[in-house]
Amino acid sequence: MGAVSVAITNRPDDSTTGKHIPALDGVRGLAILAVLYCHVFWSNPDPAGSIVVHFLARSREAGWVGVDLFFVLSGFLITGILYDTMSSRHFFRNFYARRLLRIFPLYYGFFALLFIITFFRGERWFAGVFTYLTYTENLFLRPLAVTNAYWININHFWSLAIEEQFYLVWPLLIFLLRTRRRIAVAATAGVLTSLTIRTLLVVTGFTLRYPFSVFSWTPSRLDGLFLGALLAIAVRSRFHHEVLRWSVPVLIAGCILLGVFFRFDPGLDALALPLFTTLGLTLLALTFAALIAACLRPRSLLQRFSSNATLRFFGRYSYGLYVYHYTISGLVITYLRPALLGHTGSKAVALIASGLVALLISVAVAWCSYTFFESRFLQLKRRFHDTSSRPKLQELVQS
């Protein structure tokens, strides 16, 4: 599997969150690495071999949870930005201008590149592409035909669509609600509503006809974003010390319960086990919210871990990695993996080597994209600088 837009981006906006927090870059890096592990090392989820091989295959399959970490991080960052800048003179203008400059150039630039390549290759696009261009593809419960270009893989863009839809509505609600209490109540209602919708979809058997209604349909996947929003409000309240102190016990408890789910549903297939499809996805989001809070604890082990250079590097280029990697890995798996298998005779070698090649190419493309293309637009964000005097996140977590 927010997303993923703001979560899958360069870094928090210094003008709206205060001093830059490296640990959040590391959390973003952890999320994209999970997604990359899932996609670039794609393999049979039930391979023959030792228990170690089986575990690695199943843990790879569970890498999709990185998208849910993006969702929680997006809800956390966006809600914090919106709350901190609520009194700004150009609240809506600044927020949407900065988001558009970060998100749209890469997203639509990628589609422009695909259109050019397919034009010269004589490949076609179908009406379904307009749902991607309008961030609405996940609202259709049956997949629509997009293109006959087999090498293009944009199936993962559903998560970007969820986040864009969230960004469209949530700023207005924050502006109208105003107070921490009201925002927290609205976010709690959002979590419960999303959980209820998924439960009804499973109980009524709706998921038998439309299985992805609980996986990529916006109303059923908002609890991660809203739990992130709740965390953002909580760390800005008088309870922020308690939130940070209890984050580690909650994180440990969540990991244990998710481990139980993994025992009975290896790979954490969100469509296989009804209990995980309903309560499990909310538990996953709650665990990730606890992880983010734990990484904000000053001088803690998790803060040091999430602030390391490797995770921050992947966090810095995570948006480009997310957009580009699936098409790149698909091409590598299609062409390079069979060649390596024929040359070495080893499935393991072919899988690992092709996965590493796909990873390296994805990183190189994302770096070039950021350095020579995206950064040009990011420089324009300074024109929409916030001057709100409200305390920022860095000041709160260190107080």
**Which pLDDT tens digits describe the chain residue by residue (399 residues)?**
444 544 544 444 444 545 678 999 999 999 999 999 999 998 877 676 667 777 888 889 999 999 999 999 999 999 999 999 988 889 999 999 999 999 999 999 999 999 999 999 999 999 999 999 999 999 988 888 999 999 999 999 999 999 999 999 999 999 999 999 999 999 999 999 999 999 999 999 999 899 889 999 999 999 999 999 999 999 999 999 999 999 999 999 999 999 999 988 878 887 788 999 999 999 999 999 999 999 999 999 999 999 999 999 999 999 999 999 999 999 999 999 999 999 999 888 999 999 999 999 999 999 999 999 999 999 999 888 776 656 667 666 665
* Dihedral sign computed on CA atoms, order 122, 124, 130, 136: negative
Beta bridge partners of residue 125, listed in sequence order: 147
How much is the pLDDT for 289? 98
- Candidates 131, 262, 277; CA nearest to 213 is 277
Residue 74 pLDDT:
97
Spatial distance between the Cα atoms of 22 and 38, rounded to a whole number of angstroms:
25
User: Does residue 387 sit in helix, strand or coil?
Assistant: coil
* pLDDT at residue 120 in the model: 97
**Cα 68–chain centre separation:** 6
**Span between the terminal Cα atoms of the chain, in Å:** 35
Q: What residue has token string 């490949």?
A: 123
At residue 160, the pLDDT reads 98
Q: How far is CA 129 from the centre of its chain?
A: 22
